[in-house]
Structure 1
Amino acid sequence: MQKGDYDASVEKSVSRLQNSPKNSEAMEVLKTAYGLALQGHLRKIDEAKMSNDLFRWESVMYDYQKINQLADDINSCPACLAIVPNPSKYIAELADSKYNAAGARYGSGLGYLRENNRQSAKKAYYEFEKTINLQPDYKDAKAKMEDAYWAAVTRVVVQPIIVNSSLYKLSADYFQQQIDQYIAKYSRNKFVIFYGEEQATNQKIVPDQVLSLNFDDFVVGQTYVKERVEKLKRDSVVIGETRDKKPVYGTVKATLSIFEKNISSSGLLDMSITDWKTRKLVHQQKFPGTYVWRDSWASYKGDDRALSNQQLAITRRKEQLPPPPSALFLEFTKPIYNQLVEDIGYYYNNY
C-alpha cells in the first residue's frame, strides 16, 4: 500500500481475512486501500474520457473491470463486507465502455480497409477481430473481418517440377509430393495460401504470385574408385617348429589392396517467386544437394597373418551393388528439400 499498489493491497487483505477473519492489520489495510484504489480508478476513467486517444474507451473499460473485480473479491469474503459493506460495481458503465471501444476499433478497421492495399487490409483484419472480441455482435464486423482477410491474403500457386527423364520421374514425383504436403499443411501465416497448379486451375484461382521450381543441373551416379596398396610385415610370428617341438619365429609379409568406391549424385534447384500481375521476379534462391554412396572392400596376397583383425575383416567383404539411379536421385534431393522449405518459411512467415 505504501508503494501505491492499492489493488494488490486489497487482494492481499481480502485473502488474509478469508483465512483469518479477525486479522486487525488486514482490516485496516482493506479499509484504506479500497478507498484509494476506487478513487484512483475513477480518476483514470475521467482522464481517459477527456483525452483525444482514439482507443480511450479501452482504458475506461480496463479500469471499470478492475473496480468490478475488487467488488467481487470483497463480496466473496464475509469479514470484508463488515469493513466495506457496499463495494461499488459499474456494470452498465462497463458495458457502455466495451461498446464504445468496439466502435472505435470498427471505425479504425474501416479506415484501413479503405486504403485498399494488402498491408492495410491485414491491419483492418486485426481491428475487426478486436471489435468482435469486445462486442461479438457489433454491426457487420464479422463480415468486414472476412472482407479484410481476403483482401490481405496472398495466393501463391506452386508449379510442379518438370524432370525430362523417365528414369528419374518417380523420384521427382516423390520430391514433388513432399513439397505438396508441406504447402498443404502450411499454417504459420494465415495471410498466405498455397495452391498446387491443378488445384488452382480447378478452383479458378487468380494467383498473386507463382512459385517455380526447376533443376538447373543434376548429375546422378558419378563413380570414383580408388585403390590403395599397403605392404604389410609382422615380426615374431611363429612360422614353424624345431625337431624338438620348439617354436620357430620369423617375419610374415603380405600385400593388401584396399578399394574405395564413391558414387556421387548432386543437383542444383532453382526457386523463383514471380509477381503474377507485373511478371517481376520478387524472390529467387538456389539450393544445392549432394549425396555420396560409399563402399569399400579389399584383397590381399601373401600371408594372412601379416594382417590385423580389422584388415582381415575387410578382405572378407565383397563389392556391393550400388542403389539404382532413381534412389540416388532421391537421396540428393533430401538436403535440397530441407533448405527449400526453410527458405519458403522464412520468406512467407511474416509476409
Structure 2
Amino acid sequence: MKTSSRLRYFLYLSILIVGCTTGKNALQKGNYDASVSKSVDRLKNSPKNAEAMRVLPTAYELALKDHLRKIDEAKLSSNVLRWETILSHYQQLNQLSDEINSSPVAQSLVPNPPKYIAEVEDSKYKAAETRYALGINQLNENNRVSAKNAYFNFEKAHYFYPNYKDVQHKMDDAYWAAVLKVVVQPVMVQSNYYKLSNQYFQQQVNEFMSNYQKNRFVIFYSEQQTSAQKIIPNQVLRLNFDDFVVGQTYVKERVEKLKRDSVVIGETRANGKVYGTVRATLSIFDKKVSSSGLLSMTIYDYQTNKIIKQQRLPGTYIWQDSWASYKGDERALTKQQLSMTKRREMLPPAPDALFVEFTKPIYAQLVDEISYFYNKY
C-alpha cells in the first residue's frame, strides 16, 4: 500500500510539473491565450503552484494587449469583413475573462479582468449589417450563382444577428432564386408487357428524387408537381429504356468419361472380394438465362431545349442453373457429381422478374451519375 501511494504521489507531481512547464512554454512561444488557460487549469488543481502564479498575470497582460492591438488594426483595415475579425477577438477576450473568474486564485492574481459584452453585440450587429449588404447586392444580380452566394451571406447575417431587419425573408428569397428546379419525366419503356415491371424502377427513382439531399440547391419535381405548383423548371431529366432483351437462354452440355479403379465388383468363396474398374458417362448441363438493357439518361435545358448531358447506362442479370445425368455405373461418380444427377432442371424466373433484376445495376449507376452531376450546382 505504501509503494502504491508513493507511486500515485509521484505521478500526480509529474503531471503538475509537466503542466506548468507547458504553460510557460506557451508563453515563451507567444501563445498567450493558451498560456492563460493552462495556468488557470493548474491553479484549479494546485492553488499554490508557484510557476502558474508567476505565469498567469504576465500571460494575461500580453494576451489583452495582443487582442486589443489586433482589434485596432482591424478597425483601420479596408477588409469588408473586418467586423468578423473584431468580433472574434472580443469573444476570445471574454473567454479569457471567464476562465480567470472560474478560479479564486486566478481572480486574486488578475482582479476584475474586463469583459467586452457591449462591444461583442455591436460587432455582431455590424458584421450582420455587412453580410446583409453583400447579400442584397448579389441578389440584385439576378442569376443563380450570385443568388447562392447571397444566401450564404444572409445565412451568416442571421447567425450573427438573427433579428437583423428582414434577413430571414431575404434568405428565403435568395434560396429560391438559387435553387435549380429539375422536372423528372416518367421512365419510358417501349413495351406494354413490361410496364408493370417498370413501375418498380419508377418507384425507386421517385423515392431517390424525393429524398435527395446531396445538394440543398437542387430540387427534383415530378411532372404532376410542376403542374400543380405551377413551377417553371430549369432542367428536364428524361429516362428511357431504349433497348433491352429479357430471357435469352443458353444451354451448354459437357460430357465426361469417368472411371474408377479398385472398386469392389463382386465376391467369391475362394478369393473373397473381387476388385475391378467401373465406368460411367456423365453429362453436365449448364443453363444461363441472360437479361440486359440500356437506360438512356438525357438532361436538357428547359428554356432552350439544349442537351446538357446524355448517357446510356447498361445493366445485365444472368440467372444460372446446373444439373446432370449419367449412364453406366454410379460408383464411378464422386459424391458431388452424383448429387448433381439428382437435381432436376429448374424453371427460370418469370420475364417480369428478370426485367426487374437487370434494372437494379442500372439504378445504382443512375444514382451515382445524378449525384455527381448535380453536386456542382
TM-score, L = length of structure 1: 0.98
Match in the other structure for 2:143: 117
CA distance in 1, matches of 2:196, 2:42: 72
Matches within 5 A, 1:99-118: 99-118=125-144
| Corresponding residue SS for 2:345 | coil
Partner of 2:199: 173
Query: Residues of 2 paired with 1:80 and 1:104: CA distance?
Result: 38
Q: CA deviation at 1:92?
A: 1.0
Alignment of 1:1-351 (within 5 A): 1-244=27-270, 246-351=272-377
- d(CA) in 1 for partners of 2:340, 2:46: 82
Letter in 1 for 2:67: H
Q: C-alpha deviations, 1:267-321, integer Å up to 9, x for none?
A: 0111010110111111112110001111111111111111111111100000101
**SS of match in other structure, 2:348:** coil
Cα distance in 2, alignment partners of residues 236 and 12 from structure 1? 86
Aligned-partner residue type, residue 146 of structure 2: S
The separation in 2 between residues aligned to 1:182 and 1:245, in whole angstroms, is: 78
For 2:166 and 2:287, the matched residues in 1 are separated by: 70
1:121, CA displacement in angstroms? 0.6
Measured in 2, the distance between the counterparts of 1:137 and 1:322 equals 66
Amino acid at match of 1:17: L
**For each residue in 1:189-242, what CA deviation from the matched residue of structure 2 results, as whole angstroms up to 9, or x when unmatched?**
110001112222222221110000011200001111111111111111111122
Cα shift at 1:245: 5.8
Deviation by residue 1:31-50 (Cα, 9 ceiling, x = unmatched): 11111110000000000000
1:164 Cα deviation after fit: 3.0
Question: SS where residue 167 of structure 1 aligns?
Answer: coil
What is the deviation of 1:148?
0.4
Q: How many pairs align?
A: 351
* Greater displacement, 197-206 / 321-330: 197-206
Larger displacement relative to structure 2 (158-167 or 24-33)? 158-167
2:106 & 2:260 partners in 1: Cα distance? 96
Q: Secondary structure at the match of 2:325?
A: strand
SS in 1 for 2:28: coil
Separation in 2, partners of 1:84, 1:53: 34
User: Sequence identity of aligned pairs in percent?
Assistant: 65
**Counterpart of 1:97 in structure 2: which amino acid?**
S
CA distance in 2, matches of 1:203, 1:42: 55
Q: Is the 8 A contact 2:325 2:341 kept in 1?
A: yes
For structure 2, the 5+ residue unaligned runs are 1-26
AA in 1 matched with 2:306 = K
Whether the 8 Å contact between 2:253 and 2:284 is mirrored in structure 1 is yes
Q: Secondary structure of 2:260's match?
A: strand
2 CA distance for matches of 1:204 and 1:236?
A: 85
**1:68, 1:163 → 2: CA distance?**
66
Distance 1:43 1:243 in 2: 116
Q: Taking structure 2 as the reference length, what is the TM-score of the superposition?
A: 0.91
